[in-house]
Amino acid sequence: MNTEDRDRRGGRFGSPFGSTNGDFAREPRTSLEVVDPGYRSPGYWGRFHAAVMERAAFELARRRRLARESVAAVLSGWSRRLIPVAVAAAAVAVFLIGSEVRHAADPGPPLVLEDVLASEVEDGALPVVMSGQAPASPVAFMALVEGNVR
Amino acid sequence: MRERSDAELVIQARAGDGESFGELVLRYQRAAYSVALSVIGRHQDAEDAAQESFMVALERLEECRNPARFAGWLLAIVRNRSRNLIRRESLRRGDEIPASASSSGPSPERAADISALRERLKEALSTLSEVQREIVLLHDLEGWKHAEIADRLGMPSGTVRSHLHFARKALRVQLSDWKDYGKGV
CA distance A83 to A90: 10
* Highest mean pLDDT out of A44-48, A133-137, B138-142: A44-48
Q: Give yes or no for residue A89 having a pLDDT over 60.
A: yes
Amino acid of residue B21: F
**HSE-up of B114 (CA within 13 Å, CB side)?**
19
Q: How far is A100 from chain B (nearest CA, A)?
A: 52
Inspect the interface and report whether the beta carbons of A3 and B182 lie closer than 8 Å.
Answer: no
Q: What is the pLDDT of residue A12?
A: 33
Number of residues written out for chain A:
150
Kindly report, residue by residue over A45-67, the tens digit of the pLDDT: 999 999 999 999 999 999 999 88
The closest CB to that of A31, out of B97, B167, B182, belongs to B182
Which of A15, A45, A48, A54 is the mutation pick for testing B, counting most B CBs within 10 A? A48
Contacts of A52 (CB under 8 A, 6+ apart): B25, B29, B51, B54, B55
Mean pLDDT of B77-89: 85
Q: Please report, to the nearest 10 degrees, the dihedral formed by the alpha carbons of residues A45, A53, B22, B70 taken in order.
A: -90
Specify the pLDDT at position A68. 84
Confidence of residue B36 (pLDDT cuts 50, 70, 90): very high
Sign of CA dihedral A82, A88, A89, A91: positive
Return the residue in A1, A7, A32, A45 with the most chain B beta carbons within 10 A, the one to mutate for interface testing. Answer: A32
ipTM: 0.73
Annotate B118-180 with three-state secondary structure.
HHHHHHHHHCCCHHHHHHHHHHHHCCCCHHHHHHHHCCCHHHHHHHHHHHHHHHHHHCCCCCC
A80-84, B16-20, B117-121: range with highest mean pLDDT: B16-20
A124: pLDDT strictly greater than 50: yes
pLDDT of res. B185: 45
- Looking at chain B from residue 44 to 63, which residues have their Cβ under 8 Å from any Cβ of chain A? 47, 50-51, 54-55, 58-59
- How far apart, in whole angstroms, are the C-alpha atoms of residue A88 and residue B158? 68
CB contact under 8 A, B137 and A32: yes
Q: What is the pLDDT of residue A136?
A: 74
Of these ranges, A87-101, B6-20, B79-93, B122-136, the one predicted with the greatest mean pLDDT is B6-20
| pLDDT surpasses 50 at B136 | yes
B160 touches chain A (CB under 8 A): no
Q: Does A69 touch chain B (CB under 8 A)?
A: no
**Mean pLDDT estimate for chain B:** 83
User: What pLDDT is stored for residue B103 in this prediction?
Assistant: 42
In this predicted structure, the answer to whether residue B15 has a pLDDT above a threshold of 50 is yes
pLDDT confidence of residue A108: 66
Residues of chain B in contact with residue A4, where contact means CB-CB under 8 angstroms, are 145-147
CB contact (8 A) between residue A67 and residue B15: yes
Given CA atoms B7, B13, B17, B23 in this order, what sign does their dihedral have? Answer: positive
* pLDDT of B98: 38
**Using the beta-carbon criterion (under 8 Å), do A59 and B182 form an inter-chain contact?**
no
Give the mean pLDDT of chain A: 71
In the prediction, which pLDDT does A34 show?
A: 80
pLDDT at B11: 95
Distance separating alpha carbons of residues B146 and A7, to the nearest angstrom: 8
More confident residue, A13 or A30: A30
Digit-coded pLDDT (tens) for B92-114: 444 443 333 344 455 667 777 77
- The answer to whether the CB atoms of B51 and A40 lie below 8 A apart is no
- Residues of chain B with Cβ-Cβ distance to A21 below 8 Å are 165
Distance CA B111, CA B71 (A): 34
> Looking at residues B50-77, what average pLDDT do you find?
94
